[in-house]
Amino acid sequence: MKLQTFGIGKDSERKITTYKFETCGKVIMLDCGGDRLTSSDVSDVDYLFISHEHLDHWQGLIRLITHFKNDCLIYTTQTTKKIIAEIFREKLTYEKFGAQKTNEILNRFNQIQTLYFFNEQKLDNDLKVTLYPSGHTFGSSMIYLVSPDVKLLYTGDMDYVSGKDYRTYYCPDSLEVDIIIMDGTNFLGNDFKTQFINKKAGAVKHINEIKFHVRPEKAVFLAQKLSEIKCLDEHVIIYENDLNWYLRIISEQGYNAYALNKIVLANHFMAPMDIPKTIRLSSRKFSEHNVDWSFGLHISKDDTVNFAHQFKSFPKVYFGHYCLKNYDDYLTSCKPYDFKLLGEGGNEL
Ligand SMILES: [Zn+2]
């Protein structure tokens, strides 16, 4: 199978985030973040799937959405659609396309279809898709496509921790998979983010309040992760005004990774005295550190191996989303497992 990939970022941190291939006469695109995507790259696409809200996976839509064919169907989860709609509107104001073009873009955006996790959707006589939670952000999905030619699982960005039920985002191991395109971010064993989260989780057990000064989506995501680690008996997420839209969507969607964890959203400056454990979210940066922590967790190396090997069908494993600059190091890391790296441009799978 021929797979075309598109990357994003400066040379020093460039990674592949967009994939395109053809099966049973249909052209499929997985994510749309590539910064060198052109109108001709998207003009023949029949189905586009957006895995999650992070811009590196869909930002090409802002520029190119009107260049997709009129009958191209774009799919994502409802949560992701709602979140990217907010970002989309903000970006459109900033880009200043003019009234007519802006309307055209918004119309196309509104036509994006939404899918539920675990529900198989027939796209065509020969083509079916099912989304599974990927554990990376609220509403983020893995995309499983089945045609007579190929059974392909694209994980998007993912988080998964083997042996921990509450941090395992599953798709059934009975799934028949020929090819997995996986999140290769941490395949060098660089798993500092998971360690960081776990350290924070440890701290939360002992203190009454923890503050995170990060971008809204990251802050909310961290709170979600902490809630999954079950370090709190009760979670009260205190947030600042500029997080409103994000939290509103999550609250409306009722998207909570685990029903057993109680997350209360409250917009208070101070934590109410009678609430024992609090997570405070803020989008402002720490003035003394001035850092913006990135909390979109990616699967660790060990768990990648575990995840890929769970399928009885022994799929071929390909990595995207790794730093292309470190190709040789990743290659060494992949060798013992016979995992393959995707290059930017054309690939033969
Ligand atoms: Zn991401």
For 12-57, what is each residue's pLDDT tens digit? 999 999 999 999 999 999 999 999 999 999 999 999 999 998 889 9
Structural domain ending residue among the three candidates 251, 282, 313: 282
- At residue 276, the pLDDT reads 54
Residue among 58, 113, 114, 111 nearest 84 (CA): 58
pLDDT at position 231 over 60: no
Q: Is residue 332 part of a domain?
A: yes
Higher model confidence: residue 288 or residue 175? 175
- At residue 285, the pLDDT reads 44
Q: What is the mean pLDDT of residues 319-332?
A: 96
pTM: 0.86
5 beta partners: 19, 345
Residues 6+ apart with CB under 8 A from 305: 337
Q: What is the mean pLDDT of residues 190-199?
A: 67
Q: Is residue 158 part of a domain?
A: yes
Question: Distance from the CA of 99 to the center of ligand 1, in angstroms?
Answer: 31
Question: Distance from the CA of 136 to the center of ligand 1, in angstroms?
Answer: 7
| Cα(316)–Cα(303) distance, integer angstroms | 16
- Asked if 97 and 201 sit in the same domain, the reply is no
Q: What is the mean pLDDT of residues 231-254?
A: 65
Question: Distance from the CA of 44 to the center of ligand 1, in angstroms?
Answer: 26
- Asked if 251 and 154 sit in the same domain, the reply is no
- At residue 215, the pLDDT reads 64
Question: Distance from the CA of 179 to the center of ligand 1, in angstroms?
Answer: 21
CATH number of the domain at 79, please: 3.60.15.10
Please state which of the ranges 101-110, 227-236, 296-305 shows the lowest mean pLDDT.
227-236
- Asked if 76 and 172 sit in the same domain, the reply is yes
- Asked if 21 and 94 sit in the same domain, the reply is yes
DSSP tag of 67: G
Average pLDDT value for the chain: 82
DSSP tag of 99: H
| Cα(218)–Cα(91) distance, integer angstroms | 19
- Asked if 244 and 113 sit in the same domain, the reply is no
**Cα 200 to Cα 153, 264, 289, 346, distances in angstroms:** 32, 20, 17, 42
Q: Is residue 27 part of a domain?
A: yes
- Asked if 203 and 313 sit in the same domain, the reply is no
- At residue 302, the pLDDT reads 87
pLDDT at position 347 over 60: yes
- At residue 305, the pLDDT reads 93
Question: Distance from the CA of 33 to the center of ligand 1, in angstroms?
Answer: 11
- At residue 257, the pLDDT reads 34
Q: Give me the count of residues in the chain.
A: 349
pLDDT range class, residue 182, cuts 50, 70, 90: very high
- Asked if 255 and 132 sit in the same domain, the reply is no
- Asked if 81 and 153 sit in the same domain, the reply is yes
Question: Distance from the CA of 148 to the center of ligand 1, in angstroms?
Answer: 30
- Asked if 98 and 119 sit in the same domain, the reply is yes
Q: Which domain holds residue 65?
A: 2-189+300-348
Q: How far is CA 314 from the centre of its chain?
A: 24
Question: Distance from the CA of 140 to the center of ligand 1, in angstroms?
Answer: 8
- Asked if 23 and 157 sit in the same domain, the reply is yes
- Asked if 6 and 128 sit in the same domain, the reply is yes
- Asked if 196 and 340 sit in the same domain, the reply is no
Q: How many domains does the chain have?
A: 2
